Amino acid sequence: MINTTCNTQPPDVRMGALAWKHCVGCGCRISDRFLLFALDGYWHFNCLKCSCCQAQLAEIGSSCFTKRGLILCKSDYIRLFGNSGACRSCSKCIPASEMVMRAQGNAFHVKCFVCSICHNQLVPGDRFHYVNGKLFCERDTPAAHEYRNDHLDGLGKHNISERF
């Protein structure tokens, strides 16, 4: 929701070396000494509030959660959406507050994000492959020719050339 009663200045107005920022919450120019950056935008300290309990998120922590268009504090996020999500590797529940690793839409506990062959933990920045639900580090990636040979072996069993 944009507040149309605030005084806005053209974008070329500068405050020192920085252009004036506008609050995502109210739409007004931010001239405060401090501003918040969250959810890809700048906010007044007082405007970034939990959609449920109206708590000012900067006062209760350094993180906020968003889902279905709501901006939430940690406790309201857990209350509304629970500890949803299971680890693709161990099938155990992943708490909403826990960091995860993701591959092709699947979530993993950080400790479960390991190579299927050497069991070395994969960390952000590591190159890996995700094949048929399994993780492989770059060193242990199944060679592409193995898949092609399996496929060709399957075709060879059917004697395709004799059908023509």
Extents of the domains making up the chain: 14-81, 83-147
Confidence of residue 110 (pLDDT cuts 50, 70, 90): very high
Give CA–CA dist 41/71, Å, rounded. Answer: 13
Model confidence at 9: pLDDT above 60: no
Instruction: Provide the CATH number for the domain formed by 83-147 in this structure.
Output: 2.10.110.10
List 145's β-bridge partners, or say none. none
Could you check whether 14-81 and 83-147 share the same CATH topology?
A: yes
What is the torsional sign of CA 116, 122, 127, 132?
A: positive
Give CA–CA dist 70/76, Å, rounded. Answer: 10
Q: Per CATH, is 14-81 categorized as 2.10.110.10?
A: yes
| 7-33: average pLDDT | 67
Model confidence at 144: pLDDT above 80: no
* Cβ pair 48, 58 in contact under 8 A: yes
Q: What is the pLDDT of residue 73?
A: 86
Which one, of 106, 94, 95, lies nearest residue 134 by Cα? 106
- Lowest-confidence segment of 27-41, 85-99, 102-116 by average pLDDT: 85-99
pTM of the model: 0.42
